[in-house]
Amino acid sequence: MPVADPDSRIAPHGPVVLAKHEFIWIKDYLYKRAGIALNDSKQALVSGRLDKRLRHYGLSSYSEYFHLLDKPGSEQEALMVIDLLTTNETYFFREPQHFEFLKSHFFPMHPASRPLRFWSAASSSGEEAYTLAMLAAEFSKTEHWEIIGTDISTRVLEKARRGLYPISAAEKIPTSLLKKYCLKGNGEYEGFFLVDWVLHSRVKFMYANLIDKLPDLGCFDVIFLRNVMIYFDMATKQRLVERIQHYLQPGGYFFISHSESLSGIKCDLQMVSPSVYQKTEE
Q: Which amino acids are annotated catalytic? A: 49, 151
Rg (CA), the chain: 21
Query: Of 32, 75, 213, 202, which is closest to residue 134 (Cα–Cα)?
Result: 202
List alpha helices for 163-225, DSSP H.
175-181, 197-200
Distances (CA, A) of 165 to 130, 194, 271: 12, 6, 34
| Helical segments of the chain, H only | 20-34, 43-57, 62-69, 75-84, 96-101, 107-109, 127-139, 154-162, 175-181, 197-200, 234-245
Q: Are 101 and 51 in contact (CB under 8 A)?
A: no
CA gap 35, 281 in Å, rounded: 30
